[in-house]
Structure 1
Amino acid sequence: MSHKSASSNGGFFAIPDHRVVALEGRDAARFAQAQFMNDVAALAPGHWQWNGCLTPKGRVIALFALLKFDDERLWLLLADADPDAFAAQLQRFVFRSKVAIRVGDGLHAGGAFAVPALARGNAIAEAADGAVELDLGADGGPRALRIANAPGEDDAGALARWNAFDLAHGRPRLPGSQVEQWTPQQLSLEWLAAYSVKKGCYPGQEIVARTHFLGQAKRGLARLATTAAAAPGDPVAAEGRELGKVVCGHGGEALAVLPLQLPDAPLAVGGAACVRVPLLDGLAR
């Protein structure tokens, strides 16, 4: 695997299902703090975090990277969710807040399996050409993500490898059938440091905090190696008894919500044999 900087390795490939929603204005950071599940106020300007939006019942609507340039300029890098619908949903809660919500239609995400030219950890880097760079590397190797005005090259193989990397490191993707189905704990989003149990009120906060402080989490995210492709919603069973369901799958692997204590019996997903394998570390920010 190359460890050259992304700026010298021949460019970035397109990640077309990642889109930007921008929050801008005097109350942008306060609005995000009140609406989202992670602690935006504790995030230093020029840095990013995993974050998300919940229903009042604590179910995940969307998981995204939140980039905080400063208190008046934030970007949400969405995967899977429709940016126009998501922006419209947020707009319902603006009320008198001084914040403008817009979809970054001219912005494109691209990836490279290389050490970022400038970004490190959760620090955001802004290049001279206006592009924004993030470090999405982890134990599996380096990765750079770039948000720019020009799209990257189409490369289905590289994109598949990127998605497989995310899955292996416990970043669940949420297609439409999986939206509003799972709590942050059921998706093990503590693995990404994506939610807070200490910050003030936000939609779903009571459910998240109660589950945490009362120790009521009984299910979490499991990475499965499968003998057949798994689809969202496929049942995971042992000895003919359904234990949970697949959240997302890619190639020969899947992420599923399963009991934290599994029976000592072979697992099957959608009728095909599967085995549990460890999640990889290092993608938390």
Structure 2
Amino acid sequence: MNDVSALADGQWQWSGWLTPKGRLVALFALLRRDAQTLDVVLHDADPATFADALKRFVFRSKVAIAMAGTAATGRFAAPSAARGAQAAFDGQTAELDLGVPSQPRTLRLQPIESDTATTPEPDAAFQSEADARWRAIDLAHGLPRLAASEFDRWTPQQLSLDRLQAYSVKKGCYPGQEIVARTHFLGQSKRGLVALQGADAAQTGQDVAADGAPVGRLVAVSTQVQLAVLPLDLGPASLALDTHPVTAVPLCEGLAR
């Protein structure tokens, strides 16, 4: 759903895959290694299902879609060379900047053969804590980490993916493009992403109430921040999950690429 042709070699962008009705079924980082090679780094969708869906759109083009055999590892530190949308490479290993100045993060894409030979298996408790911290940063910056129940439900506008520059209304046709463009140019998106705090035990799919009336739905949760799709014109209101009060907080900036 983004303009792949706008990427120069070595650059990456946020992008996604939509149903013909314009509902998101995959969100990913899209890296152009060179003129012939694109890497798709899926966040939550099933990779085999996604690859099969893409293959249905390969006709006469000389295109091969395959699992890359790559390990994706993260660290809470600034990249050694990558900056913003510009990746850095060391042979087949790619480094992506997924952080902001106040919260630096690096994503490293490395062939599994070399990765397994040099990287020890992390402690399970440490890995769980690190995953939770990474996810909380994603959500705080408006990168929705969707559960399977939330796919095929929301348009890019309802998930406020314009904040990440994750879709295009100017490129050529793609599945769901008509819905995305119509919503954009007619200004008909009435809901967007809102960050909430105060519901550590919240679950994806819960209703969000404003002054006692259901107005939206939780789409992604972490222990520190929860993301909900709510009306854009909600105005001042007392928000709650079930009977538990929650507070709307501003989404952080800086993760757009």
Q: TM-score, normalised by structure 2?
A: 0.92
> 1:185 offset after TM fit, Å?
0.2
Pairs within 5 Å for 1:66-77: 66-77=30-41
CA distance in 2, matches of 1:200, 1:283: 25
SS in structure 2 at match of 1:101: coil
List runs of 5+ in structure 2 lacking aligned partners. Answer: none
**Equivalent residues of 2:217, 2:229 under 8 A apart:** yes
SS in structure 1 at match of 2:66: strand
**Equivalent residues of 1:225, 1:252 under 8 A apart:** yes
**Equivalent residues of 2:135, 2:145 under 8 A apart:** no
Query: Closer, same or farther in 2 for the Cα pair 1:62/1:72, shift >3 Å?
Result: same
1:143 partner amino acid: R
Aligned counterpart for 1:61 among listed residues 15, 25, 36? 25
CA distance in 1, matches of 2:47, 2:169: 27
2:222 maps to 250
**Equivalent residues of 1:238, 1:263 under 8 A apart:** no
**Equivalent residues of 2:146, 2:219 under 8 A apart:** yes
Q: Does 1:87 align with 2:85?
A: no
2:205 maps to 233
> 1:264 offset after TM fit, Å?
2.2
1:122 partner amino acid: A
Identical-pair percentage? 57
**Equivalent residues of 2:191, 2:232 under 8 A apart:** yes
CA distance in 1, matches of 2:243, 2:59: 49
2:93 partner amino acid: A
SS in structure 1 at match of 2:138: helix
Pairs within 5 Å for 1:1-285: 37-104=1-68, 106-128=69-91, 130-148=92-110, 149=112, 150=115, 153-154=121-122, 155-285=127-257
1:20 maps to none
1:138 partner amino acid: V
CA distance in 2, matches of 1:252, 1:144: 21
Query: Closer, same or farther in 2 for the Cα pair 1:267/1:139, shift >3 Å?
Result: farther
List runs of 5+ in structure 1 lacking aligned partners. Answer: 1-36
CA distance in 2, matches of 1:156, 1:81: 19
List per-residue Cα deviations over 1:6-47 (Å, max 9, x = no partner): xxxxxxxxxxxxxxxxxxxxxxxxxxxxxxx10001111110
Query: Closer, same or farther in 2 for the Cα pair 1:102/1:190, shift >3 Å?
Result: same
List per-residue Cα deviations over 1:156-202 (Å, max 9, x = no partner): 22221111110100000121100110000000001100001111111
> 1:139 offset after TM fit, Å?
4.8
CA distance in 1, matches of 2:198, 2:227: 10
User: Number of residues paired by the alignment?
Assistant: 247
CA RMSD of aligned residues (A): 1.3
CA distance in 2, matches of 1:90, 1:214: 29
List per-residue Cα deviations over 1:190-247 (Å, max 9, x = no partner): 1100001111111111111111111111100000002342211110001221111000
1:219 partner amino acid: R
**Equivalent residues of 1:234, 1:246 under 8 A apart:** yes
Moved >6 Å (runs of 4+): none
CA distance in 1, matches of 2:199, 2:254: 27
2:106 partner amino acid: A
> 1:76 offset after TM fit, Å?
0.3
Query: Closer, same or farther in 2 for the Cα pair 1:254/1:44, shift >3 Å?
Result: same
SS in structure 2 at match of 1:102: coil
